[in-house]
Amino acid sequence: MSETLAGKVLTREERQLATLESTHPAWEIRHLPDLAMPWWAVRRIRPTDAQRAAGVVASFSRVTPELLAAALARFDEIAHAIR
């Protein structure tokens, strides 16, 4: 199923990408379908030493957008709690 946005037909992956980008603005999200782990996130600002010690990473990938979203939510939760 696809939707239109300003006359452009969006694929499921494009809609998922747009949702992830708007939900997690601290991260640059990429979908690279030719890779084994096609959903990537790169933090726009590097995590602090305290955030890294608590488990936040600068970049990571997942197999599905749902798994990426779950990890992003957890990293965002840590990053907001620990500056």
Q: How far apart are CA 73 and CA 63, in angstroms?
A: 16
Residue ranges making up the domain that contains 34 = 3-81
| Residue closest to 54 by CA, chosen among 27, 83, 25, 26 | 83
pLDDT digits (tens, 9 = 90+) for 5-22: 567 889 999 999 999 999
Q: Are 40 and 59 in contact (CB under 8 A)?
A: yes
**pTM for this entry:** 0.86
Question: How many independent structural domains does the chain possess?
Answer: 1
pLDDT of residue 1: 46
In this prediction, residues 42-61 reach a mean pLDDT of 97
